[in-house]
Every structure is written in structure tokens, then in C-alpha cells.
Amino acid sequence: MTSISVLKQRERQIYQKGNQPFEIECETKSLAGAVSQRACVFCGSRVVLYPIADALHLIHGPIGCASYTWDIRGAQSSGPELHRMSFSTDLSETDIIYGGEKKLKKALLELIDKYSPKAAFIYCTCIVGIIGDDVDAICRQVEEETNIPVIAVHSEGFKGTKKDGYKAACDALFSLIERNNAPRVTIPDSINILGEFNIGGETWIIKKYYEAMGVKVVSVITGDGRVDEVMQAGNAALNVVQCSGSVTHLAKQMEEAYGIPFIRVSYFGIEDTSDALYQVAVFFNKNPEIIKKTQDLIKEEVQAIIPRLETMKKDLEGKKAAIYVGGAFKAFSLIKALKTLGMEVILAGSQTGTQEDYEVLRQMCNEGTVILDDSNPLELAKYSVEKDADLFIGGVKERPIAYKMGIGFCDHNHERKIPLVGFEGMVNFAKEVHGTVTSPVWDLVPRRQKAAGKEGAI
């Protein structure tokens, strides 16, 4: 694979664990022309707010941004499904020349009348920032007229990276919470679940655990989300933050404004799920019942799944995995979960990791592991093949890279349909990994045929 060369300006964002001192460049703008796997500010906002099922999500701009994000996440709702609709002001040339404010207002009033949402989020796309529509003013007017929260999300695509989009979404969420004028009453032994999006019904699995522990869930932000529920978030005693990249900003805002402390957790894999639940139990240690129930729950759940994992582990022992995810936090959990299955990680990267994240990654990984920040198809292909991966874990854009080279694939992005969190999620994950890694089709693909010295490989 010497044919693929790495761009000079990208070299500092690639690190191979070995003798050289650890140094990696990150948290920078993507290099023009590098074919980054990242999306934009709008995407960051859209994915965080997306699961709020009884809100209207109106995208202000030309049609593309709405088309590409229509029903894009596997975020489930137990009730209304307004979030699965794609609404756009579909700006045309005349709107660009004369401004889109009138159209926006008219569209909003019509949609609110038609769908009776509990709140409306208006996403500003690139062009809105350029033509100078006063979206905040329109939102204020419509909020007054309709009596529901109408919130502008300042997510113009070019104004930073996906992370800035997360921040804009957090600002919108905080602004929603702030609209609750009722006095704050802290509910004992209660939490908000933050950064959990109910992909494949994951929120329901986590909620079930907390219920069994005797911990009340005030709101989930934003999995199976409801506007009224989000607005109650100020009454929780603790914020439990998953997917820290996207919602830590909100947790910090709530800590500052309401004094609600937060902890960071992950519900992926046996180790991290147990750790998450214990952390919450320990926080509420004034209630000894909770600790007891948590211990029982974890013991029971772990015992139930271990035999099934052990069976699959036999086939997976020693297999090599590459991981490329949005936030680095997810990579930590994946590495641990893969270790549970006897697998080794040979490539780990993320779109938006920080210096500290990559330091943690480095410590977790074996010698020779390649660590990548804001990578692209060519680099991902180059290193997966060089390191001879048997499995690639990523999203839609990484899938064909793996498949072309005859590497198994597991979708860990927001489009998947299968819950991967918690104990039962670990079994699903193992089944996914086991299914693809042990598939007989790899025996037929050219790269494997060549490696086996078979004739007729193209």
C-alpha cells in the first residue's frame, strides 16, 4: 500500500504509537481538499436536537440541508414522530436577493398551525448568515403570536466545525429550559440523561436500569425527547452526561445556572455500563437502597450475558479492529468492549477528539496502533490495510472503504437500527461483530484470495 501517500499538512494529525514522543495536532479546521469525513456546524446542531419528537424542526435555507437530513437518525420515539419530517424554507433565488424573513415567518406560522408542535427550532444554514436574515427577531414575533417556544439555532455551516454546532444546539436547549418559569424544586434521587439519543431504543434500555436502581429520570436530552420534559431538566439532582462531546456545554451551563453537578459516563460495553450505573449510585449514597439495587442489577445482567459473549469470543480472539468515530469518547468504550471480545485495536481515530482524548487513546492502545485526527478515506484505507484489520467500526461513509478492501464492518453511527448500549446492547454488538468478521464472503474477496495465494484474483 505504498501507493497511498499522506498530505504533508496532514502528517501532524497522524500518530503511530511507538518510540517517538506523543504529539498530535487536533481541534483544527479541516484542510481544504483533504476530503474530511466531518460534516458541518449545521450537522452538529441537527443531530443533537433531532430526537425531540414533538418539536418542529424547520431548516432555513435552500433545500439540500433539509433533504440530506430527512429521517437520518435511527432515533425512536414512543409517541409523536414530528422529528422524522423534513421541513425547509427551500429558499429560491428571489429569496436570496430580497431576504428570506417573510417566507420564514409565513412557513413557521403555517407549520405550527398544521402540526401543533410543542416548540419550534429554526436552523440557520450557511446562506442565512450571508443574506443577513434576522432570524432571532422572526422567532420572537412567532413565539409571541403562537405561544410556544420558537428558538433560533445559529448553525451556519461555515462558522466552525461540527463541535460548534453541538454548542449551538446546547444554547438552544438551555434557552428552552430557561423558558420554564416555575420555581425549581430538586427532585431527590433524580437525574437527567444527557447525550443519549435513543438510537434503536437505547434510551429505553438505560431508563429501565435506572428504574430498577430506584433513580428517577427527570428528562432525557434528547432521546425520545419531549419539549415539556426537557423544560423540567432544571429539577434534576444530577446530570449524567454521555457522548460528552455534544452536550457537556449544556451540562456546564446547567451547573452554573442551577448548581446541578454532572458526571461523564458511557453506556457502551460491560465495564463502562457498570461503571456508569455505579457512579450514579455512589452519588446518591445517602440512599443505601440504591447501591444495593444497583449491585443486584449489574450482577444479574452480567451473569445473563457472559456465556453468550464467551461463545462468540472463541471466534474473535486475536482479530484486529479499526475504529473511526465522531467523538473520541466513543472510541474509549469501543476499545474496552472489543477487548472483552478478545479483539485488538490497530487503528483508532475521531473527527473531533481533543489533545487529552488522544492521550487517553494512546494509553489504552497497544504499540503500533495508529491514531488519527480528522482523517479521510485514503488514510483510513491505507492504515486499515497496512495493519490488516479484520473489522472496521464507523459510519456510512467508512463502510465502503472497509468493504472494498474485504474488511468486516460494524455501524456504530446514528443510522443503525440496533441498540448497542447496556448489557443487552453488548450482546447485540458482539453479534454484529461476530456476524461480519466470521462471514464466509471474505474468503472470496480479491485481497484475501491474494493473501491465500489463490489464482484468479483480480
Partner 1 sequence: MTLRKYKDTPSYTATQNACKTCTPLGATLVFQGIEGCVPLLHGSQGCSTYMRRYLISHFKEPVDIASSNFTEETAVFGGGANLKLAIENVASQYAPDMIGIATTCLSETIGDDVPLILNSMDNTIKGTALVHVSTPSYTGTHVDGFHGAVAAVVDRFNPVDKRIVYRPKKKKKINLFPGMLSNEDLRHLKDIFEDFHTPVTILPDYSERLEGPSWQEYQAIQKGGTPISAIEKMHVAVNSIEFGAVLALAAENGQKTAGDILNKRFGVPCTRLPIPIGVKATDRFLDILSQISGRPVPERYRKEKWRLVDAYVDGNKYVSKKRALIYGEEDFVVSIAGFLAEVGIIPVLCASGGKSKTFKKALEQTLPETLIDQVVIQNDMDFTCMEETAAGMPEDLRPEIIIGNSKGYAMARRLKIPMVRVGFPIHDRVGGPRILHVGYKGAQQLFDNIVNTLLTASQTESRIGYAYM
**Shortest distance (Å) from residue 43 CB to partner 1:** 5
Comparing CB distances to partner 1, the nearer of 123 and 429 is 123
Q: 115 to each of 175, 327, 355, how far by Cα in Å?
A: 22, 34, 45
Shortest CB 161 distance to partner 1, Å: 8
> CB-wise, 51 or 61, nearer to partner 1?
61
Report, in Å, the least distance between residue 50 CB and partner 1.
14
Whichever of 236 and 380 has its CB closer to partner 1, that residue is 380
Q: Is the dihedral of CA 30, 34, 37, 40 positive or negative?
A: positive
Q: Which is nearer to partner 1, 273 or 351 (CB)?
A: 351
Q: How far is the CB of 208 from partner 1 (least distance, A)?
A: 28
User: Which neighbouring-strand residues pair with 392?
Assistant: 322, 409
Return the number of the residue (29 or 292) whose C-beta is nearest partner 1: 29
In the bound complex, what is the minimum distance in angstroms from residue 180's beta carbon to partner 1?
A: 28
Which residues partner with 16 through β-bridges? 370
In the complex, least distance from residue 81 CB atom to partner 1, rounded to whole angstroms: 10
Smaller CB separation from partner 1, 33 or 440? 33
d(CA 122, CA 49): 11
Quickly tell me which residue has 469518547 as its cell.
Answer: 329
Q: Minimal CA–CA distance to 165: which of 311, 33, 45, 50?
A: 45
Q: Which is nearer to partner 1, 155 or 192 (CB)?
A: 155
Using alpha carbons only, what angle is made at residue 54 by residues 52 and 56, rounded to the nearest 5 degrees? 85
Q: Smallest distance, Å, CB 34 to partner 1?
A: 6
Instruction: Supply the minimum distance, in Å, between the C-beta of residue 186 and partner 1.
Output: 39
- Grid cell, residue 393, equals 467500526
432 — phi, psi (to 5°)?
Answer: -60, -50
Q: 159 vs 362, which CB is nearer to partner 1?
A: 159
Q: Give the residue among 411, 37, 48 at the shortest CA–CA distance from 200.
A: 411
What count of other Cβ atoms lies within 10 Å of the Cβ of residue 368? 12
